[in-house]
Structure 1
């Protein structure tokens, strides 16, 4: 254990923990799970059944209404900077359009996966994707990973494997 300085009343273990960050992380995880469960219900329930395209049609404007004001507030002069970049190099407009198209297909794919599997499967796949992204970033970019981070990613992979095995057993028993 590291020695405590007289000016630091907090034990060393808590210097790396921020309550606000923790609350935001738990809130974001809960919101993501809620969104996935609601889209699963909308895509599969008989009374409110929507197809993936219609659900995307309804959800995209809501996302714009929530995210656009937040972006304009948080990102200083984002519109002016974007216009200046577009005047310098019009290629940025094509990159933005390409990025928007990819986002569209990612959302459509998420809806299709949710419709044909379940909301829980989509969440597990999202966690697996995060672990794979970290491994790729370590291999390609040589990004450092702490022992705590490595333990978290290992736990994530173990959870994905356990879920996969439980799903196989559940399908075999039917």
Structure 2
């Protein structure tokens, strides 16, 4: 009977973890929906500049969190080679975020999330190519429905756009590549950084890369942004909120990882994608088909099976 009664400390921990998970879901889904709203419904068609705003917020808030508030201990860069590794990760990360934002201009959030669920496929592929790391055959078998589900969902997607689909696949691959690359480049115990410190160093580098890219590839971005700000009084507030949520999503991801486990995070991540799909359909009213839903369900089930087999056979 006593085992069923939680101590005050365990109750507080449960409340803390639950609150963090709700915040993690809210910030992740919030930034995704606001990205879609700004890029396709608000006339703000500048995905590179939007990503730069996100990275600027991450740079400022990371400095405040780590240097001023000391949320986590600051980890110093110890060598020039470590700096170049972090810069490489930053450029790859920029590519993944920009690609994802570009895809949101052309694809509904629901389909964007379906394609994004194939991350484990690309992670396994890059892990094998870069480290020759092999998984059990049953683990690779679970990746078949992951890919097949997206193929089916693509065929049943009424709003399918080839360019948007290519950019979404590219963003998903870049995200997986960054994950594997991070493990390879920062594998030295003395050079490992937690995600908060990594964001502190990656964000300013990303801004430096994205600013000239935005000015060259989106030459009228400043003019149009100012005009939209004059025309829509909430434009600047939406940009600020969106950028703040982008940092909040990274912070919550770190805190949820710290207070739970990698397996819990993986399960919660799969569920988060499904929640984002449902909310986006309710808000944007984008048409969905039975084939599309079936394909996405197959992909999610494949991802869940993949995570379970990795846990069992590692």
Same fold, TM-score > 0.5, yes or no: yes
Determine which of 189, 197, 202 is the counterpart of 1:46.
189
Residue 35 of structure 2: aligned partner: none
Residue 51 of structure 2: aligned partner: none
Alignment of 1:142-153 (within 5 A): 142-153=285-296
CA distance in 1, matches of 2:301, 2:171: 22
Decide whether aligned partners of structure 1 residues 141 and 31 sit closer, same or farther in structure 2, where only a CA change above 3 A counts.
closer
Gaps of 5+ in 2: 1-154
Decide whether aligned partners of structure 1 residues 88 and 27 sit closer, same or farther in structure 2, where only a CA change above 3 A counts.
closer
Residue 86 of structure 1: aligned partner: 229
Q: Given that residues 40 and 114 in structure 1 are in contact (C-alpha distance below 8 angstroms), is that contact kept between their aligned partners in structure 2?
A: no
CA distance in 2, matches of 1:91, 1:22: 30
Larger RCO (CA within 8 A; separation ≥ 6): 2
CA distance in 2, matches of 1:108, 1:41: 23
Determine which of 12, 20, 32 is the counterpart of 2:175.
32
Tell me how far 1:60 sits from its aligned partner: 0.8
Q: Secondary structure at the match of 2:176?
A: helix
Largest Rg, 1 or 2? 1
Gaps of 5+ in 1: 1-12
Q: CA RMSD, aligned part only?
A: 4.0
Decide whether aligned partners of structure 1 residues 85 and 138 sit closer, same or farther in structure 2, where only a CA change above 3 A counts.
closer
Whether 1:102 aligns to 2:234 is no
CA distance in 2, matches of 1:141, 1:87: 25
CA distance in 1, matches of 2:207, 2:255: 21
TM-score by length of 1: 0.62
